[in-house]
Amino acid sequence: MSAYISQSEKQTRAVATQLAQELRPGDIINLIGDLGAGKTTFVKGLAAGLKITPEAVSSPTFVLMNIYETNPPIYHFDLYRLEGTEDMRQMGFDEFFYGEGIAVIEWAERLGELMPPAYLKIEIAHQGESERAITISGVGERFEQIADHMQTWMTA
């Protein structure tokens, strides 16, 4: 599996907008990458693919999760400030992970024991000022398949 090299915010959004076509309710997207890598940018691309304006997307840094009225809805988590998993349990995260919408999770590595059994993993790594390496992989059959489709699209 090779990385896709994005040269701009626009290209990163385009990958996400393409991915949106593959998604259905109950899907989980884990976003991994350091501050400024482009995780929130990626969510803007997903939102655009599901027909809402990317301006509606902002990182839910103080509330754990934002909901966007896309079809299906996007549940946008940002776990940067998460300490332990108690807050996630209290907010009833599983209704959003395994529910009617698409869960997109920034800093998903902080889920610990709440890590879902199957998910799509998007890793975004800084390569330079505006260059990013995007790697997509899947855990579980459905997400492996989506990763394959995206790999084909990204190398076309």
- Chain residues in the site for ligand ADP (CB under 6 A): 6, 8-9, 11-12, 33, 35-41, 59, 106, 130, 132
What number of H helices and E strands is found in the chain? 5, 7
For the bound state, the minimum distance from the C-beta of residue 67 to ligand ADP, rounded and expressed in Å, comes to: 18
Q: Which does 64 bind (CB under 5 to 8 A by kind): Mg ion, ligand ADP, none?
A: none
- For residue 151, the minimal CB distance to ligand ADP (Å) is 18
Task: At 70, list the tokens.
Answer: 């896309």
Residue 147's CB is within 10 A of a number of other CB atoms, namely: 21
CB of 44 to ligand ADP, least distance (A): 8
CB closest to ligand ADP, residue no: 38
Pick between residue 6 and residue 66 the one whose CB is nearest to ligand ADP: 6
Containing 5, the helix (H) or strand (E) segment is strand 4-6
Nearer to Mg ion, 61 or 127 (CB): 61
How crowded is the C-beta side of 123, counted as CA atoms within 13 Å?
A: 11
Minimum distance from residue 57 beta carbon to ligand ADP (Å): 10
Both structure tokens of 145 = 């398949």
Evaluate the CA torsion angle 81, 114, 148, 99 in order and state its sign.
negative
Residues that bind Mg ion (CB under 5 A): 39-40, 59, 106
Q: Which residue's entry shows tokens 């459905």?
A: 142
